[in-house]
Amino acid sequence: MTARPNLPVLLVLALALAAPRAGGELRAAAPQEVNASYHVLVNGGHVAVMNETFEARDNTYRIVSESSAVGLLALFENRSLRFVSSGQLMGSGLRPRHFEGTRGEAGRRQVRAEFDWEARQLTLAHDGRSETVPLPPDTQDQLSMMYQFMFHTFERPARLVFPMTNGRKLDHYRYTVHPDVEIDTPLGRMKTLHLVKQREPDQDGTEIWLAPQHRYLRVRMLIHENDGSRYEQIIVKLEFKP
């Protein structure tokens, strides 16, 4: 197995879905805190641990996701990969203001997104340059969107379309939805909402499994790359603080 976890790969591994603007109604307020841990696998081999914390305080939120290599890979890559999303907690859910991804203790910023909702502009910074693009309504970043589902009750939508940024670009994503799919996880067998990305032949494929009994948080994700590589997240810990 050849493992090559780097910033773009773990950025992709962090992808999930933003909440739809249609096909659901608002659910109860978010918990004050969520703590989750995932095993990260490349072609079936365990290469990293991803720890995430969601906190909601005084109409604001903050999400931190940190990935660290394990096993032999830790001998060659000992710098953690850290993503942070922060913003407002609205009646409709999360409204990001700032997103960034960094690697290593020095904290050198690798990617960044600034959301200016008043001016309807999104500023993206990466690779030593920045650009400003129009900001569509309901845009999420790759961290906030994973927790935005906590605010919706799904009514069996067949398809989801949403805008999302990873700090490098802004895209619209399209997923088909398959309800009542049961999977085995380290936390037990779960009934999930299975999301499958609609893609062109030259694009990578993404599948996400959300657990309704755990406020629609992701419990598994699988990335299929065109070269045959498989990148996976699987839940190993999930705790809520009301």
Tens-binned pLDDT, residue by residue, of the chain (242 aa): 434 444 434 434 444 333 333 334 445 567 899 999 999 999 999 999 999 999 999 999 999 999 999 976 665 666 789 999 999 999 889 999 999 999 876 546 689 999 999 999 999 999 889 999 999 999 999 999 999 988 876 776 678 888 999 999 999 989 999 999 999 999 999 999 999 998 777 777 899 999 999 999 999 999 988 888 999 999 999 999 98
Specify the pLDDT at position 74: 61
Residue 141 domain flag: yes
Specify the pLDDT at position 10: 43
Residue 199 domain flag: yes
Specify the pLDDT at position 226: 82
Specify the pLDDT at position 15: 40
* Length in residues, the chain: 242
Q: How far apart are the C-alpha atoms of 99 and 124, rounded to whole Å?
A: 10
Give the Cβ contact number of residue 61 at 10 Å.
Answer: 24
Specify the pLDDT at position 76: 61
Sort 175 into a burial class: Cβ within 10 Å, 0-12 / 13-18 / 19+.
buried
Specify the pLDDT at position 29: 67
Residue 56 domain flag: yes
Q: What is the CATH number of the domain that holds 218?
A: 2.50.20
Q: Which residues contact 135 (CB under 8 A, 6 or more apart)?
A: 115, 116, 117, 119, 120, 121, 122
Q: Give yes or no for a contact between 10 and 142, defined as CB atoms under 8 angstroms apart.
A: no
Which domain does 188 fall in, by range? 7-241
Residue 39 domain flag: yes
Nearest to 113, CA basis, from 165, 65, 67, 59: 165
Rg (CA), the chain: 17
Specify the pLDDT at position 142: 93
Q: How far is CA 182 from CA 27, 58, 209, 230, in A?
A: 23, 36, 9, 21
Residue 1 domain flag: no
Specify the pLDDT at position 126: 93
Nearest to 164, CA basis, from 140, 200, 194: 140
Number of domains present in the structure of the chain: 1
Specify the pLDDT at position 7: 40
Residue 2 domain flag: no
